[in-house]
Structure 1
C-alpha cells in the first residue's frame, strides 16, 4: 500500500510527522535518522557526476546531425524560454518574497550545535559535477560529429544503470533522507517557522506558473485570446497526465497527440517532444529559482545580485539537460550550483529538495504545457522560413 503512495504524499506525511511528533523523539533516535540522511547524501554526491555526465551526453547525442537547422531553432527557443522565465522568477522574487517571508534568526542556527552522525561513510570524489558537465558537452558534441557506436552504447547503458539505481533505490528511500534532516531542523527549533514561511511561496509559485503558461500560449496564438484558450484546452490532457505521473517522459505519447492537434505537424511533434521533455523545463524555471531565492532570503536575509543570478541562470539552463528521467531530478542536478554559486549549506539543500519534490507534479505539468506552446511557436517559425 505504502509503495503505491505518490512521492509528494509521502513527503507530506513526513512533514506532518515531524511537525506533530518530532518533539516527542529523544536525541538518540533523531541522531539515528540524521545519520542515515548523511550517508544518503554522501552516496548521492558520489553518484551525481555520473548522473550529470550520462544524462547530458545522451541528451546531446539525441540531436545527432538530423535536421540541424530545425534542431538549432529548437535549442535556441528552449534556451531563450528557460532563461526568460528564470529571470521573470528573479524579478518577481526580489519584489514579492521579502513581503511574504520572514528571515530566520541566524544566531539560532549557529548557537544550536549541529548533530554529529552516529555513523558515517566517506566516498572518494572522483570528479566534480562541473567537470562532469564540461566532459559531457565535449564528449556529446564530439560523438555527434564523429560517431563511435561502442562508446555511445556504453554511455547509454551507463544512463540506464543510473536511472535504475535512482528509481529503484534512491527515490524509494528519499523520504527517509528528508526525515533525518527535518528532524534535526526541528531539534534546532526552526521547523514550524520554515513551514509557515514556505506556505506563501507555494501559492506564489502556482500563480506565476499559471501566468507564464497563459502568456506563452498567448504568444503562440499571436495574441489571439480565443485561439490561445483553444490551444490550452487541446493541451490540457498532457497537463493532467504529467501532474499525475510527475514525469515529462512518461507523458510523451499524450504530449505528441496534443501537439499534433495544435500544430498540424506530426513530424515536428514526433521529433521535438522527446527533446523538449529533456531540456525545456518551464515549470522548473519558475519553481527552482523561486525556492532558491526564498531559501536564501529565509536563512540569510539577502537576495543574490543580478550578476550572481545571471551566472546561476547560465548553469541552470545547461544543467537542465541532466534533469530528465528522474522524479525530482531537476533539483538533484542543481545541488552543486546552489552550493557553489548561491552558498547553500546542507540544511538549505535538504529543505529545497523536499519542497521541490512536493510541488514536482505541478512543476512537471508546467514543463509539459510549455513544451506544447513552444512547438506551436517553432512550427510557425518553420512555416515562415518555408522549412518542411
Structure 2
C-alpha cells in the first residue's frame, strides 16, 4: 500500500510540474522518464531469461503427474481469464473513451535534455527461447551448476527490481504525467483510466466467482463457502502485493476447504509462481485501454489477442515475488507483439501498479480454487 501512495504522490507531482512548472524542469522530468524507460527495456530480457529458466528447471525436481495437472489447470485458468477480460474490455472501454482527446494529441512535445540509450543484450524472443532450452535441459540433466547459476541470476534481477526499479517508479511515473500535463491531455487520460481500474477490479471479482463455481461443481461443495474460507488470503494479498508472501495464509485457507494436506502443500506454492489470472486480466484490460487511446496502436482483433494472452501465460512463469514483477515481464511482449512505445509502456506500468494489490489478491484466491480442482482430479485418477 505504501508503494501505491508513493505512485499517487508521483502522479500528482508530475501533473503539477507539467501544468505550472518551468520548461526546464519539465524537460528534466522527461529526461528521467526516457533514461529510466530505456533501463527497463535493458532489464526485460534478463527478467525473462532468469525467471523462466529458474522456474522451469525447478519443476523437474517435483512429481511429474502432479506438476502436469497443476500447470495445466493454472495455465488454462490464466488463459481463460485473459479471454474474459478482452471481451469485457473491448465492449466497454471504446464506449467510455469516445470523445476524449488522444494521449498523443495536444501541444508540441518537449525533447529530453539528453538521450542515454541502454541497448538490450538480446531480444525478448531470444531470451524466451534460451530460457526454455536451458530450463528444460537443466530439468532433464539435473545439472546443479546451471540450476544454481539461474537461481542466483534470478536473485540478482530480483534485487534490481526491488531495490532500483520499484523505488524509482514514482519518479518515472511523475515524468510520464508531467509530459501528459504539459501536452494538455492528462485530465482526459485520467478520466478514462479511473474507469479502467474499476473495470479491471470488477473483472477480477467476476473471474474469482467463475473459478469457485467451477471448483464447487467439480468437488460437489458449496462454491460460496469455499470462497468465504479464502477471504483471509484475499485480504492478506491486498496488503502484501505478493503471492509468495501470502503463501502461509493461502495454505491455511486452502486446507480449510478440505484439500488434502500433501496436495495443498504442493499446489499452493507452485501456483503462486505460475498462476497469474488476476495479473493477466489487468494487463489485457489496460492494454485495450492504452491501444484505444493511442492513435498509432491499432486495436487488436480477437485472433490477434489470443497469441498475446497465450504468451503472457508463459512469459510470467515464476514472475518475481516483488510488486510489479508481472508487468515488468510483460512489457517485452507488449513491445514485440503490439509495438508499444515508451509512453504506452509507461502508462501500462502506472495503471498496473495502481491496482497491483487487487490483481495479486485474485491470483492468490484463484490458487485455492486450483487446489480444490487438482485435489478432486487426483482423487478420481486413483
Structures share a fold, TM > 0.5? yes
Is 2:123 aligned against 1:128?
yes
- Using the alignment, how far apart are the partners of 2:306 and 2:325 within structure 1? 22
Structure 2 residue runs of 5 or longer lacking an equivalent are: none
| Structure 1 equivalent of residue 338 of structure 2 | 342
RMSD of equivalent CA atoms: 1.9
- Using the alignment, how far apart are the partners of 1:344 and 1:202 within structure 2? 20
Contact 1:278–1:321 under 8 Å retained in 2:
yes
Is 2:258 aligned against 1:258?
no
Is 2:135 aligned against 1:140?
yes
| Structure 1 equivalent of residue 95 of structure 2 | 99
| Structure 2 equivalent of residue 37 of structure 1 | 33
Contact 1:100–1:201 under 8 Å retained in 2:
no
Residue correspondence of structure 1 range 10-49 to structure 2 within 5 A: 10-20=6-16, 22-49=18-45
Contact 1:218–1:224 under 8 Å retained in 2:
no
| Structure 2 equivalent of residue 304 of structure 1 | 300
- Using the alignment, how far apart are the partners of 1:276 and 1:150 within structure 2? 26
Residue correspondence of structure 1 range 330-369 to structure 2 within 5 A: 330-369=326-365
Matching residue within 223, 232, 235 for 1:240: 235
Structure 1 residue runs of 5 or longer lacking an equivalent are: none
After superposing the two structures, state which structure 1 stretch, 58-67 or 159-168, moved more. 58-67
Contact 1:277–1:371 under 8 Å retained in 2:
yes
1:110 offset after TM fit, Å?
A: 5.6
Q: Deviation digits for residues 92-120 of structure 1, max 9, x if unmatched?
A: 122222222236545x8367433222133
| Structure 1 equivalent of residue 157 of structure 2 | 162
Contact 1:241–1:251 under 8 Å retained in 2:
yes
Matching residue within 287, 291, 300 for 2:282: 287
- Using the alignment, how far apart are the partners of 2:247 and 2:61 within structure 1? 22
Contact 2:6–2:170 under 8 Å retained in 1:
yes
Q: Between Structure 1 and Structure 2, how many residues are aligned? A: 381
Contact 1:263–1:375 under 8 Å retained in 2:
no
Matching residue within 39, 56, 62 for 2:58: 62
- Using the alignment, how far apart are the partners of 2:203 and 2:19 within structure 1? 35
Q: Deviation digits for residues 185-236 of structure 1, max 9, x if unmatched?
A: 1111100000001111122112111111011111111189972121112111
Is 2:48 aligned against 1:52?
yes
- Using the alignment, how far apart are the partners of 2:108 and 2:17 within structure 1? 21
1:342 offset after TM fit, Å?
A: 2.0
Q: Deviation digits for residues 317-343 of structure 1, max 9, x if unmatched?
A: 111215232311111111121122223
TM-score by length of 1: 0.93
SS in 2 for 1:66: coil
- Using the alignment, how far apart are the partners of 1:138 and 1:81 within structure 2? 25
Change (3 A) 1:146 1:225: closer
